[in-house]
Amino acid sequence: MIKRELYLNKIVRLIDKDPIKIITGVRRSGKTYLLKSICEELKNRGISEENIFLISFESMKYKMLKTGKKV
């Protein structure tokens, strides 16, 4: 894996600021890896794991999520 320090540093500076951030990119470009790195940063800041949500739509675990509306 390639550690994306440049992107991670840019995002980390914005963690506690509005608005919500969206990470987009082509398939297999490292988005999930970057999100996992952000999760680690949050844990290092003392954020409880139960307050961190990482949803990868590549995972079959979340296949039932189709829209933002409750089913």
DSSP string across the chain = ----HHHHHHHHTTTTSSS------STTSSHHHHHHHHHHHHHHTT--GGG-----TTSGGGTT--SSS--
Q: Establish if 69 belongs to a structural domain.
A: no
pTM above 0.75, yes or no: no
Q: Establish if 67 belongs to a structural domain.
A: no
Q: Establish if 41 belongs to a structural domain.
A: yes
Task: Please determine, for residue 2, whether its predicted confidence score (pLDDT) is greater than 80.
Answer: no
Model confidence pLDDT, tens digit, residues 9-68: 888 899 889 998 888 889 888 888 888 999 999 999 999 999 998 877 777 787 777 766
Q: Establish if 17 belongs to a structural domain.
A: yes
Range(s) of the domain holding residue 52 = 5-62
How many domains would you assign to the chain? 1
